Amino acid sequence: MKNYGTVLCVGELLIDFFCTDVDVNLVDGQHFSKQAGGAPANVSAAIAKLGGNASFLGKVGDDPFGKFLKQTLDQERVDTSMLLFEQGTPTTLAFVSLQGNGERDFVFNRGADRLVTPEDLDKEQIKQASIVHFGSATALLNDPFKQTYLDLMDEAKENGQFISFDPNYRGDLWKGSEEEFISLSKQGIQKADFVKLSEDELKIVSGESDRESALDILHGWGAKTVAVTLGKEGTLISTGATRTLIDSIKVKSIDSTGAGDAFIGAVLFQISGLEQPKEFAQDFEQLQKFVTLANRVGAIVCTKVGAIAALPTLEEVERFASQADSTIEV
Protein backbone atom coordinates (compact mmCIF):
# COMPACT_ATOMS: atom_id res chain seq x y z
CA MET A 1 0.00 0.00 0.00
CA LYS A 2 1.54 3.29 -1.11
CA ASN A 3 1.91 6.06 1.46
CA TYR A 4 0.71 9.46 0.31
CA GLY A 5 1.95 12.67 1.85
CA THR A 6 -0.52 15.42 2.70
CA VAL A 7 -1.31 18.05 0.07
CA LEU A 8 -2.43 21.30 1.68
CA CYS A 9 -4.59 23.46 -0.62
CA VAL A 10 -4.77 27.15 0.29
CA GLY A 11 -7.38 29.61 -0.95
CA GLU A 12 -11.09 30.20 -1.35
CA LEU A 13 -14.09 28.01 -0.67
CA LEU A 14 -17.31 29.62 -1.85
CA ILE A 15 -20.80 29.09 -3.21
CA ASP A 16 -21.37 29.25 -6.97
CA PHE A 17 -24.96 30.01 -7.88
CA PHE A 18 -25.38 28.99 -11.52
CA CYS A 19 -28.44 30.34 -13.30
CA THR A 20 -30.24 27.38 -14.86
CA ASP A 21 -32.46 29.52 -17.10
CA VAL A 22 -31.40 29.45 -20.75
CA ASP A 23 -29.87 32.53 -22.36
CA VAL A 24 -30.73 35.13 -19.73
CA ASN A 25 -28.76 37.66 -17.71
CA LEU A 26 -28.85 37.90 -13.94
CA VAL A 27 -31.52 40.60 -14.09
CA ASP A 28 -33.99 38.17 -15.66
CA GLY A 29 -32.72 34.88 -14.21
CA GLN A 30 -35.12 33.18 -11.80
CA HIS A 31 -33.66 29.74 -11.08
CA PHE A 32 -30.23 28.97 -9.61
CA SER A 33 -28.30 25.83 -8.73
CA LYS A 34 -26.14 25.98 -5.58
CA GLN A 35 -22.70 24.37 -5.98
CA ALA A 36 -19.59 24.23 -3.80
CA GLY A 37 -16.87 26.20 -5.55
CA GLY A 38 -13.38 27.57 -5.27
CA ALA A 39 -10.42 26.30 -7.29
CA PRO A 40 -8.22 25.12 -4.39
CA ALA A 41 -11.19 23.38 -2.79
CA ASN A 42 -11.83 21.54 -6.06
CA VAL A 43 -8.17 20.48 -6.14
CA SER A 44 -8.34 19.16 -2.58
CA ALA A 45 -11.46 17.13 -3.39
CA ALA A 46 -9.85 15.71 -6.54
CA ILE A 47 -6.85 14.48 -4.54
CA ALA A 48 -9.01 12.89 -1.84
CA LYS A 49 -11.34 11.26 -4.37
CA LEU A 50 -8.35 9.58 -6.05
CA GLY A 51 -7.24 8.16 -2.70
CA GLY A 52 -4.72 10.76 -1.57
CA ASN A 53 -4.49 12.87 1.58
CA ALA A 54 -5.70 16.43 1.14
CA SER A 55 -6.34 19.24 3.59
CA PHE A 56 -7.84 22.66 2.98
CA LEU A 57 -6.97 26.05 4.48
CA GLY A 58 -9.37 28.93 4.00
CA LYS A 59 -12.23 30.84 5.61
CA VAL A 60 -16.01 30.82 5.24
CA GLY A 61 -18.78 32.61 7.08
CA ASP A 62 -20.37 31.10 10.16
CA ASP A 63 -23.64 30.68 8.27
CA PRO A 64 -25.60 27.92 6.49
CA PHE A 65 -23.52 28.30 3.32
CA GLY A 66 -20.26 27.90 5.22
CA LYS A 67 -21.60 24.81 6.96
CA PHE A 68 -22.72 23.37 3.61
CA LEU A 69 -19.22 23.89 2.21
CA LYS A 70 -17.56 22.17 5.15
CA GLN A 71 -20.01 19.30 4.84
CA THR A 72 -19.19 18.98 1.13
CA LEU A 73 -15.44 18.69 1.74
CA ASP A 74 -15.95 16.36 4.70
CA GLN A 75 -17.99 14.04 2.49
CA GLU A 76 -15.06 13.90 0.06
CA ARG A 77 -12.65 12.98 2.92
CA VAL A 78 -10.80 16.30 2.80
CA ASP A 79 -9.27 17.33 6.14
CA THR A 80 -11.13 20.51 7.11
CA SER A 81 -9.41 21.10 10.46
CA MET A 82 -7.87 24.29 8.99
CA LEU A 83 -11.16 25.55 7.56
CA LEU A 84 -12.00 28.66 9.56
CA PHE A 85 -15.41 30.16 10.35
CA GLU A 86 -15.69 33.96 10.51
CA GLN A 87 -18.32 35.48 12.78
CA GLY A 88 -20.31 38.38 11.35
CA THR A 89 -19.11 38.08 7.74
CA PRO A 90 -21.01 35.99 5.19
CA THR A 91 -19.60 33.21 3.05
CA THR A 92 -18.37 34.42 -0.35
CA LEU A 93 -20.97 33.98 -3.12
CA ALA A 94 -20.67 34.07 -6.92
CA PHE A 95 -23.66 34.35 -9.27
CA VAL A 96 -23.19 33.34 -12.91
CA SER A 97 -25.44 33.10 -15.95
CA LEU A 98 -24.51 32.17 -19.51
CA GLN A 99 -26.02 34.13 -22.37
CA GLY A 100 -26.58 33.05 -25.95
CA ASN A 101 -23.59 35.01 -27.27
CA GLY A 102 -21.28 33.08 -24.95
CA GLU A 103 -20.78 36.00 -22.58
CA ARG A 104 -21.05 35.52 -18.82
CA ASP A 105 -23.11 37.72 -16.56
CA PHE A 106 -21.18 37.62 -13.29
CA VAL A 107 -21.72 39.09 -9.83
CA PHE A 108 -19.25 38.38 -7.05
CA ASN A 109 -20.19 39.00 -3.42
CA ARG A 110 -16.87 38.79 -1.59
CA GLY A 111 -17.15 37.67 1.99
CA ALA A 112 -15.20 35.72 4.58
CA ASP A 113 -12.61 34.15 2.26
CA ARG A 114 -10.61 37.41 2.14
CA LEU A 115 -10.15 37.60 5.93
CA VAL A 116 -7.51 34.93 6.60
CA THR A 117 -4.79 36.45 8.81
CA PRO A 118 -1.46 35.13 10.14
CA GLU A 119 -3.05 34.79 13.58
CA ASP A 120 -5.54 32.28 12.13
CA LEU A 121 -2.84 29.83 11.07
CA ASP A 122 -1.57 26.70 12.79
CA LYS A 123 2.00 26.94 11.57
CA GLU A 124 3.03 23.55 12.98
CA GLN A 125 0.17 21.78 11.22
CA ILE A 126 0.99 23.56 7.96
CA LYS A 127 4.59 22.32 8.20
CA GLN A 128 3.34 18.70 8.23
CA ALA A 129 2.22 18.93 4.59
CA SER A 130 4.65 17.57 2.04
CA ILE A 131 3.05 19.65 -0.74
CA VAL A 132 1.43 23.09 -0.49
CA HIS A 133 -0.81 24.10 -3.38
CA PHE A 134 -1.53 27.77 -4.00
CA GLY A 135 -4.29 27.94 -6.59
CA SER A 136 -6.70 30.66 -5.55
CA ALA A 137 -8.59 32.93 -7.89
CA THR A 138 -9.30 35.40 -5.09
CA ALA A 139 -6.59 35.20 -2.41
CA LEU A 140 -4.31 37.69 -4.18
CA LEU A 141 -7.04 40.31 -4.62
CA ASN A 142 -7.06 41.97 -1.19
CA ASP A 143 -5.41 42.07 2.20
CA PRO A 144 -5.35 40.60 4.75
CA PHE A 145 -5.45 37.30 2.84
CA LYS A 146 -3.15 38.53 0.06
CA GLN A 147 -0.24 39.17 2.43
CA THR A 148 -1.01 36.03 4.45
CA TYR A 149 -0.96 34.03 1.21
CA LEU A 150 2.35 35.47 0.01
CA ASP A 151 3.93 34.95 3.43
CA LEU A 152 2.76 31.33 3.41
CA MET A 153 4.55 30.83 0.10
CA ASP A 154 7.76 32.20 1.58
CA GLU A 155 7.45 29.97 4.63
CA ALA A 156 6.73 26.87 2.53
CA LYS A 157 9.86 27.64 0.53
CA GLU A 158 11.92 28.04 3.73
CA ASN A 159 10.49 24.78 5.08
CA GLY A 160 11.58 22.89 1.97
CA GLN A 161 8.00 21.95 1.08
CA PHE A 162 7.00 21.23 -2.53
CA ILE A 163 5.14 24.29 -3.87
CA SER A 164 2.46 24.10 -6.54
CA PHE A 165 1.06 27.30 -8.07
CA ASP A 166 -1.89 27.94 -10.38
CA PRO A 167 -2.46 31.66 -11.12
CA ASN A 168 -6.18 31.09 -11.84
CA TYR A 169 -6.84 34.33 -13.73
CA ARG A 170 -10.47 35.50 -13.75
CA GLY A 171 -11.01 38.52 -15.95
CA ASP A 172 -14.20 39.45 -14.10
CA LEU A 173 -12.20 39.89 -10.89
CA TRP A 174 -9.04 41.55 -12.22
CA LYS A 175 -10.49 44.20 -14.58
CA GLY A 176 -8.23 47.26 -14.41
CA SER A 177 -5.65 45.44 -12.26
CA GLU A 178 -4.05 43.14 -14.82
CA GLU A 179 -0.53 44.44 -14.18
CA GLU A 180 -0.84 43.69 -10.48
CA PHE A 181 -2.03 40.18 -11.32
CA ILE A 182 1.03 39.64 -13.51
CA SER A 183 3.38 40.95 -10.81
CA LEU A 184 1.84 38.75 -8.10
CA SER A 185 1.82 35.72 -10.39
CA LYS A 186 5.51 36.22 -11.07
CA GLN A 187 6.18 36.07 -7.33
CA GLY A 188 4.38 32.74 -7.11
CA ILE A 189 6.08 31.31 -10.18
CA GLN A 190 9.51 32.23 -8.82
CA LYS A 191 8.93 30.01 -5.78
CA ALA A 192 7.06 27.13 -7.42
CA ASP A 193 8.25 23.60 -8.12
CA PHE A 194 5.19 23.03 -10.32
CA VAL A 195 3.20 25.66 -12.20
CA LYS A 196 -0.06 24.98 -14.01
CA LEU A 197 -1.57 27.52 -16.39
CA SER A 198 -4.11 27.68 -19.19
CA GLU A 199 -2.88 28.97 -22.54
CA ASP A 200 -4.53 32.34 -21.92
CA GLU A 201 -2.85 32.60 -18.51
CA LEU A 202 0.51 31.76 -20.07
CA LYS A 203 0.09 34.65 -22.53
CA ILE A 204 -1.12 37.12 -19.90
CA VAL A 205 1.54 36.34 -17.31
CA SER A 206 4.50 36.15 -19.71
CA GLY A 207 3.39 38.88 -22.12
CA GLU A 208 4.29 36.50 -24.97
CA SER A 209 1.92 34.87 -27.47
CA ASP A 210 4.54 32.35 -28.64
CA ARG A 211 4.41 29.32 -26.33
CA GLU A 212 8.10 28.51 -26.49
CA SER A 213 9.15 32.07 -25.69
CA ALA A 214 6.57 32.29 -22.90
CA LEU A 215 7.85 29.08 -21.29
CA ASP A 216 11.42 30.38 -21.51
CA ILE A 217 10.34 33.47 -19.59
CA LEU A 218 8.69 31.45 -16.81
CA HIS A 219 11.72 29.18 -16.43
CA GLY A 220 13.89 32.30 -16.40
CA TRP A 221 11.89 33.51 -13.41
CA GLY A 222 12.58 30.26 -11.59
CA ALA A 223 9.73 27.89 -12.47
CA LYS A 224 10.93 24.28 -12.22
CA THR A 225 8.18 22.42 -14.10
CA VAL A 226 5.34 24.00 -16.08
CA ALA A 227 2.16 22.41 -17.41
CA VAL A 228 0.03 24.38 -19.88
CA THR A 229 -3.44 22.96 -20.46
CA LEU A 230 -4.54 23.46 -24.08
CA GLY A 231 -8.02 21.94 -24.07
CA LYS A 232 -8.59 19.52 -26.95
CA GLU A 233 -4.98 19.95 -28.06
CA GLY A 234 -3.59 18.38 -24.89
CA THR A 235 -1.13 19.50 -22.23
CA LEU A 236 2.27 21.04 -22.90
CA ILE A 237 4.81 20.16 -20.22
CA SER A 238 8.23 21.71 -19.81
CA THR A 239 11.12 21.35 -17.40
CA GLY A 240 13.13 23.99 -19.21
CA ALA A 241 15.53 21.53 -20.79
CA THR A 242 12.81 19.18 -22.08
CA ARG A 243 9.34 19.81 -23.49
CA THR A 244 6.60 17.72 -25.02
CA LEU A 245 2.88 17.74 -25.74
CA ILE A 246 0.73 15.06 -24.09
CA ASP A 247 -2.38 14.38 -26.16
CA SER A 248 -5.80 15.07 -24.72
CA ILE A 249 -8.36 12.32 -24.26
CA LYS A 250 -11.23 12.55 -26.75
CA VAL A 251 -14.60 12.75 -24.99
CA LYS A 252 -17.97 14.38 -25.57
CA SER A 253 -17.76 17.37 -23.25
CA ILE A 254 -20.90 18.26 -21.31
CA ASP A 255 -19.45 20.64 -18.70
CA SER A 256 -15.79 21.60 -18.40
CA THR A 257 -16.24 23.29 -15.00
CA GLY A 258 -13.46 22.17 -12.67
CA ALA A 259 -11.54 20.18 -15.28
CA GLY A 260 -8.37 22.23 -14.77
CA ASP A 261 -8.61 21.83 -11.00
CA ALA A 262 -9.15 18.08 -11.42
CA PHE A 263 -6.05 17.96 -13.65
CA ILE A 264 -3.79 19.60 -11.10
CA GLY A 265 -5.30 17.54 -8.31
CA ALA A 266 -4.42 14.37 -10.23
CA VAL A 267 -0.84 15.53 -10.79
CA LEU A 268 -0.35 16.44 -7.12
CA PHE A 269 -1.96 13.17 -5.98
CA GLN A 270 0.70 11.24 -7.89
CA ILE A 271 3.56 13.48 -6.74
CA SER A 272 2.43 13.04 -3.13
CA GLY A 273 3.13 9.31 -3.45
CA LEU A 274 6.82 9.91 -4.11
CA GLU A 275 9.47 9.74 -1.39
CA GLN A 276 11.15 12.86 -2.77
CA PRO A 277 8.47 15.07 -4.38
CA LYS A 278 10.92 17.80 -5.31
CA GLU A 279 12.80 15.38 -7.56
CA PHE A 280 9.74 14.20 -9.49
CA ALA A 281 10.57 16.03 -12.72
CA GLN A 282 14.06 14.53 -12.98
CA ASP A 283 12.38 11.47 -14.50
CA PHE A 284 10.72 12.98 -17.57
CA GLU A 285 9.10 9.70 -18.58
CA GLN A 286 7.44 9.53 -15.16
CA LEU A 287 6.29 13.14 -15.53
CA GLN A 288 4.64 12.27 -18.85
CA LYS A 289 2.80 9.36 -17.23
CA PHE A 290 1.61 11.60 -14.41
CA VAL A 291 0.23 14.13 -16.92
CA THR A 292 -1.38 11.38 -19.02
CA LEU A 293 -3.37 10.19 -16.02
CA ALA A 294 -4.23 13.79 -15.12
CA ASN A 295 -5.52 14.36 -18.67
CA ARG A 296 -7.80 11.37 -18.21
CA VAL A 297 -9.13 12.75 -14.93
CA GLY A 298 -9.83 16.12 -16.56
CA ALA A 299 -11.57 14.39 -19.47
CA ILE A 300 -13.85 12.40 -17.16
CA VAL A 301 -14.86 15.59 -15.33
CA CYS A 302 -15.88 17.11 -18.68
CA THR A 303 -18.36 14.26 -19.27
CA LYS A 304 -20.39 15.10 -16.14
CA VAL A 305 -22.11 18.15 -14.69
CA GLY A 306 -20.52 19.97 -11.75
CA ALA A 307 -16.99 20.27 -10.43
CA ILE A 308 -16.69 18.26 -7.21
CA ALA A 309 -19.65 16.02 -8.12
CA ALA A 310 -17.92 14.99 -11.35
CA LEU A 311 -14.60 13.94 -9.79
CA PRO A 312 -13.62 10.29 -10.39
CA THR A 313 -12.00 7.69 -8.17
CA LEU A 314 -8.76 6.06 -9.29
CA GLU A 315 -10.71 2.90 -10.13
CA GLU A 316 -13.01 4.92 -12.40
CA VAL A 317 -10.00 6.44 -14.16
CA GLU A 318 -8.47 3.01 -14.76
CA ARG A 319 -11.79 1.65 -16.02
CA PHE A 320 -12.23 4.67 -18.30
CA ALA A 321 -8.76 4.15 -19.78
CA SER A 322 -9.48 0.48 -20.42
CA GLN A 323 -12.93 0.97 -21.95
CA ALA A 324 -11.89 3.89 -24.13
CA ASP A 325 -8.68 2.15 -25.17
CA SER A 326 -7.07 5.53 -24.52
CA THR A 327 -3.73 4.42 -23.16
CA ILE A 328 -1.00 6.69 -24.53
CA GLU A 329 2.49 5.36 -25.05
CA VAL A 330 4.99 7.74 -23.50
* Structural domains of the chain sorted by starting position, each given as residue range(s) with its CATH number in brackets: 7-325 (3.40.1190.20)
Calculate the alpha carbon distances from 171 to 92, 106, 124, 184, 185 in Å. 18, 11, 35, 15, 14
Question: What percentage of the chain carries pLDDT values higher than 70?
Answer: 97
Question: Is the predicted pLDDT of residue 179 greater than 50, yes or no?
Answer: yes
Q: State mean pLDDT over 185-192.
A: 97
Q: What is the pLDDT of residue 103?
A: 72
Calculate the alpha carbon distances from 48 to 6, 88, 213, 295 in Å. 10, 31, 36, 17
Q: State mean pLDDT over 140-165.
A: 97
pTM, to two decimals: 0.94
Q: What is the pLDDT of residue 324?
A: 60
Question: Is the predicted pLDDT of residue 11 greater than 80, yes or no?
Answer: yes
Looking at every residue in the chain, the average pLDDT score rounds to 93
Q: State mean pLDDT over 300-320.
A: 89
Among 89, 94, 182, 192, residue whose Cα is nearest residue 134: 192
Q: What is the pLDDT of residue 251?
A: 85
Q: Is the Cβ–Cβ distance between 137 and 12 less than 8 Å?
A: yes
pLDDT for 253-270, tens place per residue?
Answer: 777 778 999 999 999 999
Out of 12-26, 202-216, 272-286, 314-328, least confident range: 314-328
Question: Is the predicted pLDDT of residue 99 greater than 80, yes or no?
Answer: no
